[in-house]
A and B are shown apart, each in its own frame.
Chain A
Amino acid sequence: MIQALADGILTGAIIALGAIGVTFTLEIMRFANFAHSELLTWGAYIALVIVTFAGPGTPTGPLSFGWQLLAAALIAAVLTGLAAWAVDTLVFRRLRRRGALPLTMVFAAFGAALVMRHLIVLVFGHESRYYTRELQIAVELLPGVRVLPDQIFILGLALAAMITLHAFLAWSRTGIAMRAMAESPALAQVCGIEVDAVVRLTWIIAGALAAFAGVFTGLTPQLHPEIGFNLLLSLFAAAILGGTGSLAGAVTGGFLVGLAENLSLLVISPGYKGAMPFLLLLAILILRPQGLFGARS
């Protein structure tokens, strides 16, 4: 039971990182980006390329990797952010400019997702990859609760990223401008805010957080071309559960979805784990369609 809670929190942190990007895209660009999950995969593989050349580093303390992997994750975050923006420039922005219908955007996103996923398969193949072959021994955090030191580290990094983003949105003038544009692009422009600049920044933040989520997924324990895709439903369930547009919502949603997935294992067979985000999503849409933090009717 407590073990499932611990696992749920760890999965939840990763889902939350991805869900933040989904909710930002929904709020600023106003479309459901079903290709967002592929950004996790891209981030994970970009970090893999860097690690392949630079090495994962000598294990530091109880961790299975050294600073090189962290540096790789940071570089992957920047590159994935730029990749997200590039996909927008190539596909989504053109459609937005033409006033594409929401359904068109959804299909375009699915198309972009397929292309992005298969590019990874083309280059890296289907087989599983590892950042590091170091074996890790789980530590007993509480009686009966075993976690890997890597997992604790990941949770800490994920929380730090969320707190940094929160501070940025709450205090910085650029953060306030982003929130302003989320509410009203027309009024934001009248205030001198450049829509394209905010869109670019949004993609970079969404892509960077997705890359972190991807690297963290790949670390525990392996990466394969479907690591992002397998989280797609969980990301959307978390974003919708939290109420779109709210950072706190996406984070809370992420943790709740992670917990629900892992706690469900106590009562149902692991084979059905994949259905949990779907069930949650259904329950949210029926009981509280605006999400936990959503204000809109």
Chain B
Amino acid sequence: MSHGVAPHLQVTDLVAGYVRGLPVVHGVSIEVDRREIVTLIGPNGAGKSTLLKAIAGLIASEKGRIRLGGRDVTALPAHRVVSSGIGFVPQTGNVFTTLTVHENLKVGAHLVRGSLNERLERAYALFPPLAARRPLRARALSGGERQMLAIARAVMADPTLLMLDEPTAGLAPRVVEEVFRQLRGLAEAGIAVLMVEQNARAALGVSDRGYVLTEGKNRFAGPARALLDDSRVAAAFLGGR
């Protein structure tokens, strides 16, 4: 991970929650570099989703620092975090069901000035099933197509960090594989990918590194392979072996 330069995303001792004074994340530190996939695992209530929302600016951080590419983005509101290069795919409600596929992609590039045609074509090339669904409202899509649209929408703004909250929840195994393959491709294209996954074993399988969070704190961290092989992690967080 570290090559002597600061990591792309650097979260230091972050404290955040939905209600001020009642934090869910109690001083978490994580790092994500470009070209790598990092997965956060841990039991329900460990603060994984809260951490992503805090980085996305959807909830305020009480303490700690969030830096992206060396720039402090801790106090930025959500709509400004986007322009700093962070794309976020929430777990639920991650597409606009009343808008068409095409409109969803356009909204994803809301901050981009000028023509979107090139970006739109690139998104359709990256996710071919969406091209055929262009004029349909997103509510007509299957679960897998929705997830693709959600990812494509986030990529429309050209993020340098893509965060996904349970991107494979409720998807068929074949579709899960497809989503992970896409994320691998995005990482190889130079994006830093940070995801939260219940499907921990499969997620670590495509990840470079992972963090285990419990009760809002760092518990374990390391290369994905090492976490998969660690008997303590396997027993408690990967559903046994």
Which residues of A are interface residues toward B (Cβ below 8 A)?
Answer: 173, 176-177, 179-180, 182-184, 186-195
Contacts and interface: CB of A to CB of B under 8 A. Distances in A.
B97 A192 contact: no
Interface string B98-110: 1100010011101
Contact of A192 (B95, B96, B103, B111): B111
B88 interface: yes
Contacts of B96: 179-180, 183-184, 187
Q: Which 5 A-B pairs have the closest CB atoms?
A: A192-B82, A189-B78, A192-B111, A194-B79, A192-B110
A183 B99 contact: yes
Given A190-B78, A190-B82, A191-B153, A179 B110 contact: no
Interface of B: 56-58, 77-79, 82-83, 88, 90, 93-99, 103, 106-108, 110-111, 153-154, 157
A156 to B, nearest CB: 30
B58 A191 contact: no
Given A183-B97, A191-B110, A192-B110, 10 more contacts: A173-B106, A173-B110, A176-B107, A180-B96, A180-B99, A184-B93, A190-B56, A190-B78, A191-B82, A191-B108
Contacts of A186: 58, 78, 90, 93
A183 B78 contact: no
A182 B83 CA distance: 22
Contacts of A176: 99, 103, 106-107
Q: Is the interface of A mostly helix, strand, loop or mixed?
A: helix
B19 to A, nearest CB: 11
* Residue from B82, B97, B110, B111 with most neighbouring chain A CB atoms (10 Å): B110
Given A173-B110, A176-B107, A191 B98 contact: no
A182 B97 CA distance: 11
Given A186-B93, A189-B78, A194-B79, A179 B99 contact: yes
Nearest to B97: A183
Nearest to A177: B110
21 contacts: A176-B99, A176-B103, A179-B99, A180-B107, A183-B96, A183-B99, A186-B58, A186-B78, A186-B90, A186-B93, A187-B90, A187-B93, A187-B96, A189-B58, A190-B88, A191-B82, A191-B107, A191-B157, A192-B110, A193-B107, A193-B110
B60 to A, nearest CB: 13
B134 to A, nearest CB: 14
A25 B64 CA distance: 38
Nearest to B112: A192
A208 to B, nearest CB: 23
B157 A192 contact: yes
A291 to B, nearest CB: 15
B146 to A, nearest CB: 12
A189 to B, nearest CB: 4
